[in-house]
Structure 1
Amino acid sequence: MSFNNKHIAITGGAGGIGSLLCQAFAEQGARVTVIDRVENINLGERVSLLQADLSSMDGIQKVCKALADQQVDVLVNLAGLQYFGLFENQSPEQVLLHYMVNLLAPVMLTQAVLPAMKARGNGHIVNIGSTFGSINFAHFVTYSSSKAGMKGFSEALRREVANEGIQVTYVAPRAVKTALNDEKVMQLARATNMNMDSPEYVVGRIMQAISAQKKEAYIGFPECLFVRINALLPRIVDKALAADDRKARTILNQAETA
């Protein structure tokens, strides 16, 4: 797939992965619209900003209206939030915020661009999930479950539009070295020897998956193997993760008493 003269819309395009992804698309001749809360961006003349807050219904509807009035060739749902902590300590406002940004916004933005894509007989929806959406981790309850929802949404939508000329790609990176990870997450990464990829590597793999119009792409080994094992034998994975869960609880308890 060539990106030359294509219109790419990317949520979270001002972030660590998003900004690199925007530049990669622009370098291949695409016109890129960044959907983000930031007030301005400087990613080159082929990249423009649609400022919006995807954590509110008003913000989501603003973007839906804007995208419905444009020809979007590729929609990349990248924006996401992560919470590491005890689920019972996550406020109702935080729970709502995470599901709005991680799941509801991608669903509604996709719904907004689909009619025009169907009318043209082509288009591409790209949903960036996580291995946490297939291996649901303790202490990342809203993040894991929202990414699991993103995976299910991608699969169901792919089957629905299979004969409409529209491609749906779900990409699931493992942990990435970005500002999304706070110090507690980095402590957990060190304590459990968590594999973490660079943003540059992940962007390269995302670009490959989109260009090849892959249905799914899981980034990282052995994580992609664990995804398959968890799907078939989840109770084995329960036991395998128990030690890491205890380390996570220790880190969270220390943070609460600090």
Structure 2
Amino acid sequence: MKQLDGQCIAITGAAGGIGSLLCQRLVERGAHVVGIDRLPSPEANSEMIADLGSFEGIADLGAKLDDLGPDMLVNLAGIQYFGPLQDQSPENLWTGYVINLIAPAMLSRAVVPGMRARRQGRIVNIGSVFGSIPFAHFVSYSSAKAGLKGFSQALRRELAGSGVEVTHVAPRAVRTPLNSERVLALAEITKMHLDAPEYVADRIASAIEKGERDVVIGFPESLFVRLNALMPTMIDKALAANDRKAAAIFN
């Protein structure tokens, strides 16, 4: 018997580079995967087309998830902006926070009552190392992912003893279409490591299967996360040179 046999798992961002691979991994482990995206999710067992960039779209999806009653919800969908905050359009700024933070919170709210009634379930929030080590020129993305980490911790504490668990996974940079040409240029000049999406999908699937609570993917990033929490000034100094290199991209 496979570890996830009979589990209904809903995944947002299921058509993306990591999402499609994660759907494959979870289906292989016996889960019935419901892929959620703006586009079809061929690697999932079934799919829901949804718009996570609007209140109405999120509310509509929340109602559908309430009816579905999934055993797990994986909040994977996300968008990224790289550049000075002053150059980010108001529309893009707003949409980034909605998709990266508001949507996971609203969708979690939609499925938690059913999970609590069944006394079992899991919310899986895919954050980012940037949420624990906020980077210059990723201001809105870093702060949204920091919010998602805080949301995950607070919700876990609120649901303690209910049978509903919360997992937070923080990948480092991943080589997917989410990266713009400028992000790839930054990775080149700063020697930033980009993980293969297959590796990240494997690690997320493993965290789901094992019921892990907090996962940071990659070393030395996992060490820097701890150091930033204890000694942020030291990390400021360590990142300063790379921040200057990043700024040069926009000059």
TM bucket normalised to smaller: over 0.9
Counterpart in the other structure of 1:199 = 197
The superposition leaves residues 84-115 of structure 1 with CA deviations (integer Å, 9 ceiling, x where unpaired) of: 00001111111110000000000000000000
For residue 16 of structure 1, report the CA deviation from its aligned partner. Answer: 0.4
Look up the SS of the partner of 2:124 in the other structure. Answer: strand
Counterpart in the other structure of 1:42 = 42
Selected match of 2:181 from 183, 190, 210 = 183
Structure 1 residue 15 corresponds to structure 2 residue 16: yes
For residue 119 of structure 1, report the CA deviation from its aligned partner. Answer: 0.3
Counterpart in the other structure of 2:213 = 215
For residue 183 of structure 1, report the CA deviation from its aligned partner. Answer: 0.5
For residue 209 of structure 1, report the CA deviation from its aligned partner. Answer: 1.1
The superposition leaves residues 195-241 of structure 1 with CA deviations (integer Å, 9 ceiling, x where unpaired) of: 11101111111111111111100000000000001000000111111
Question: In 2, distance between residues paired with 1:231 and 1:141?
Answer: 18
Question: In 2, distance between residues paired with 1:210 and 1:59?
Answer: 26
Look up the SS of the partner of 2:68 in the other structure. Answer: coil
Contact kept, 8 Å, 2:20 with 2:41, in 1: the verdict is no
Q: Which amino acid aligns with 2:28?
A: E
Q: Over aligned residues, Cα RMSD in angstroms?
A: 1.0
Look up the SS of the partner of 1:69 in the other structure. Answer: helix
Look up the SS of the partner of 1:217 in the other structure. Answer: strand
Look up the SS of the partner of 2:169 in the other structure. Answer: strand
Structure 2: where are the runs of 5+ without partners? none
Look up the SS of the partner of 1:93 in the other structure. Answer: helix
Selected match of 1:54 from 52, 55, 63 = 52
For residue 136 of structure 1, report the CA deviation from its aligned partner. Answer: 0.3
Q: Which amino acid aligns with 1:182?
A: S
Counterpart in the other structure of 1:256 = none
Question: In 1, distance between residues paired with 2:149 and 2:179?
Answer: 21
Question: In 1, distance between residues paired with 2:41 and 2:128?
Answer: 26
Question: In 2, distance between residues paired with 1:15 and 1:34?
Answer: 10
Selected match of 1:80 from 78, 81, 100 = 78
For residue 2 of structure 1, report the CA deviation from its aligned partner. Answer: 2.2
Structure 1 runs (4+) deviating above 4 angstroms are none
Look up the SS of the partner of 1:221 in the other structure. Answer: coil
The alignment-based identity, stated in percent, is 57
Structure 1 residue 230 corresponds to structure 2 residue 228: yes
For residue 252 of structure 1, report the CA deviation from its aligned partner. Answer: 1.7
Question: In 2, distance between residues paired with 1:62 and 1:118?
Answer: 21
1:1-258 mapped onto 2 (5 Å cutoff):
2-38=3-39, 40-43=40-43, 47-253=45-251
Q: Which amino acid aligns with 2:80?
A: Q
Q: Which amino acid aligns with 1:11?
A: T
Structure 1: where are the runs of 5+ without partners? 254-258
